Structure 1
Amino acid sequence: MATMGQNTRNAKLVLLGDMGAGKSSLVLRFVKGQFFEFQESTIGAAFFSQTLAVGDETLKFEIWDTAGQERYHSLAPMYYRGAAAAIIVYDITSTDSFARAKKWVQELQKQGNPNMVMTLAGNKADLADKREVPVEVLPLLLCAYIYCRIAFFFMSSCYSDIMPSDREMLLDQVPRVHSPNAGRFDLSSPSVPTMNSKKQWWNLEARAYAEEIGLFFIETSAKTAANVNDIFYEIAKRLPRAQPAQNPAGMVLVERPTEGSQAASCCA
């Protein structure tokens, strides 16, 4: 068990995201170690607190779990105003949930604390077989890049000089993406690349999106507790360290008398 440090400070943290993304389940797992298969929707917001030991410092998270229903959206600024950190939660089985998470990020970028530590959490990782938001984008981007380069070459005049057998050999050198969630390209077809799921094609992949705008990204499962504690510890490490007081302890500042004034006598 970690030993609490001598220096203690508080940090306000807010959870935002679509209804049903699992915000309350994440907090309950982190604070109480509990998980309920059927969690009631939060009304307005719920408050929790949890203390962590980070290095020589003790950090107390003051956590606001906000409601995901649209009718409570107008209340959100009251909870994220002045927050040191935010966890934007989405459900990996719902592209709509991911799209909503991106809107929350945009809102925080415009109206939130400019120094806020923002984290994008893809929850329900235990339902990976029902995933709609792909996590691995690098193979996809690589194939897209190669596709464009080869398509340009094939449309050039020199392509007509290549023997049919050599054309097939070139195509065989192009790596295929075998992941069922990453998408497939048919490079022998003149049509544009297609995805296994239309929902995947229009949506930016979560990890690439987070890296593009400088967010910390992690996938979690409140049900299995996977990465739940890690996300809060990572946020704690990324928070700016508390600044020392401007005046050393014990020093008392006394107003300097104006020029020409006489010091008061203790016996006057």
Structure 2
Amino acid sequence: MGENLPAVRRGAHPHRPVQTLRVKMVLLGSSGVGKSSLALRFGKDEFRNTSPTVGCAYLTRVVHLRDVTLRFEIWDTAGQEKYHSVTPLYYRGAHAALLVYDISKRETFIRAQVWLKELEKQYIPGSTVMWLVGNKGDLAQHRKVSVQEGKGLASDRGLSFTETSALSGDQISELLIAIAHRVYECSGAQQRGLSEWQETPLADLRRRDTFTPFTSCCKVGP
């Protein structure tokens, strides 16, 4: 489904990288297309039924490439119309954006094109890796959007394209690895736009005079 994605190597021990770079990735699309389930698959390789996202949710996932580690900061944005005006606050500065639709609901495919127009106002072509994702491949028997239509839209607008299933996990790991390679390639040899991530030492919570504010009110995951 979609373009050929790289195989995921299992059991191999990657070379220890000299640095870890931060990658901001956002998931955009209508409510109910499975963005939260995709984010959970990306972050923890788990599936569970989720409630509609309020504002945003945030997970992380580390991906090892040959000579670098990328720490994905995955932002799952709310798809309800009432949150549309604040969503740009979450996807500004993103290195990768996934436009997600449900292959069994044609209106979500149309809505994905609206999100694309919004993104195109924010980014210079080539500055952000943008991927069209047809989710819920497990509902192929109820398909309302053909693979050819997805590929056609992606081709016309310069996007990459993949169909996935958050329920079964099909193409999830492959997609994340492909995005990691593309982001790293687009950043260039100097990693333009990718800052180095360094772990912050944990505060000693036993000390009463220590106060550490939360970096996000909706952070989930490691």
After TM superposition, the score normalised by the length of structure 1 is: 0.63
C-alpha change, 1:242 and 1:7, in structure 2 (3 Å) is: farther
Residue pair 1:207, 1:217 contacting (<8 A) in 2 also:
yes
SS in 2 for 1:74: coil
Report what 1:257 is aligned to: none
Number of residue-to-residue matches in the alignment: 176
Indicate yes or no: 2:130 matched with 1:118: yes
CA positional deviation for 1:8? 1.4
Report what 1:154 is aligned to: none
Indicate yes or no: 2:222 matched with 1:222: no
Residue pair 1:81, 1:113 contacting (<8 A) in 2 also:
no
Q: 1:56 aligns with which of 67, 70, 74?
A: 67
Residue pair 1:83, 1:113 contacting (<8 A) in 2 also:
no
CA positional deviation for 1:54? 1.4
2:77 and 2:176 map into 1 onto residues whose CA distance is 17
SS in 1 for 2:86: helix
Q: Which has the higher helix share?
A: 1
C-alpha change, 1:29 and 1:212, in structure 2 (3 Å) is: same
- Aligned pairs (5 A) from 1:8-23: 8-23=20-35
Report what 2:155 is aligned to: 211
Report what 2:4 is aligned to: none
1:120-163 CA distance string (max 9 Å, x none): 00000010000000113xxxxxxxxxxxxxxxxxxxxxxxxxxx
Which protein shows a greater Rg? 1
Over the aligned positions, Cα root-mean-square deviation in angstroms equals 1.5
- Aligned pairs (5 A) from 1:143-162: none
Residue pair 1:80, 1:112 contacting (<8 A) in 2 also:
no
SS in 2 for 1:30: helix
Runs of 4 or more consecutive aligned structure 1 residues displaced over 3 Å after TM superposition: none
2:179 and 2:77 map into 1 onto residues whose CA distance is 18
Q: 1:24 aligns with which of 26, 31, 36?
A: 36
2:173 and 2:31 map into 1 onto residues whose CA distance is 22
Aligned partner of 1:85: which letter? A
SS in 1 for 2:145: coil
2:74 and 2:105 map into 1 onto residues whose CA distance is 25
Aligned partner of 2:51: which letter? E
Structure 1 unaligned residues grouped into runs of 5+: 137-204, 246-268
2:188 and 2:18 map into 1 onto residues whose CA distance is 14
2:134 and 2:106 map into 1 onto residues whose CA distance is 11
C-alpha change, 1:135 and 1:244, in structure 2 (3 Å) is: closer
1:220-265 CA distance string (max 9 Å, x none): 00011001111111111111245179xxxxxxxxxxxxxxxxxxxx
> Percent identity, aligned pairs only?
47
1:220 and 1:100 map into 2 onto residues whose CA distance is 18
1:14-65 CA distance string (max 9 Å, x none): 10000000000011112112111x3111000001111001121100011110
SS in 2 for 1:100: helix
C-alpha change, 1:210 and 1:244, in structure 2 (3 Å) is: closer
1:241 and 1:61 map into 2 onto residues whose CA distance is 18
Aligned partner of 1:209: which letter? L
- Aligned pairs (5 A) from 1:1-268: 1=11, 2-3=13-14, 4-36=16-48, 38-112=49-123, 114=125, 115-136=127-148, 205-239=149-183, 240-241=187-188, 243=190
C-alpha change, 1:111 and 1:79, in structure 2 (3 Å) is: same
After TM superposition, the score normalised by the length of structure 2 is: 0.76
Residue pair 1:221, 1:228 contacting (<8 A) in 2 also:
yes
1:11 and 1:242 map into 2 onto residues whose CA distance is 15
C-alpha change, 1:41 and 1:242, in structure 2 (3 Å) is: farther
Structure 2 unaligned residues grouped into runs of 5+: 1-10, 193-222
